[in-house]
Amino acid sequence: MAKKILLGAEHSIVEPLALFHLSDIARQEGWDPKIVLSKGPDYKEFTKSVKEFRPDVFGISLSTGNHSDIKTMLNRVKKENSNLTTVVGGPHPTYFPTGCLEYSDYVVVGEGFDSLRRILGGKVDGICYRYFWISKRIL
């Protein structure tokens, strides 16, 4: 049975093209992806999807402005699902990666296509994550 990844972003009128690409990469790597869009401040759709879909990995794109509400939601979801691996990417983590380590297992800085492939494949050298901070450029 394929591992599952839930990919999420703030609901917007703009199509989540990056999530479509990330979903395809996950599928290429043998994962079962699902995309969910949700609105803050509570992000109920994310919480509901984690409960129902039961992903192994939850990746979310966030921006400065929704990062505090996402932090609250991720901490709550992680408390209820201790084996869930969390990944954040997007504009806010790109500019403030160390702050994002407080509430996510992995922080992807910049374009995340190759980084997601490496995270899903267990090859995380060069990626910023909670228990290991590297001194070279974070990918």
Q: What confidence tens digit (pLDDT) does each residue in 19-65 have? A: 999 999 999 999 999 999 999 999 999 999 999 999 999 999 999 99
pLDDT digits (tens, 9 = 90+) for 78-111: 999 999 999 999 999 988 988 888 899 888 888 8
For the entire predicted model, the pTM comes to: 0.87
CB of 22 within 8 A of CB of 51?
A: no
Please compute the mean of the pLDDT values over residues 4-30 and round it to a whole number.
Answer: 92
pLDDT at position 136: 34
Q: Mean pLDDT for the chain?
A: 87
Structural domains in the chain plus CATH codes: 4-129 (3.40.50.280)
Q: How many CA atoms lie within 13 A of 137 on its CB side?
A: 4
Phi and psi at 121, nearest 5°, equal: -90, 0
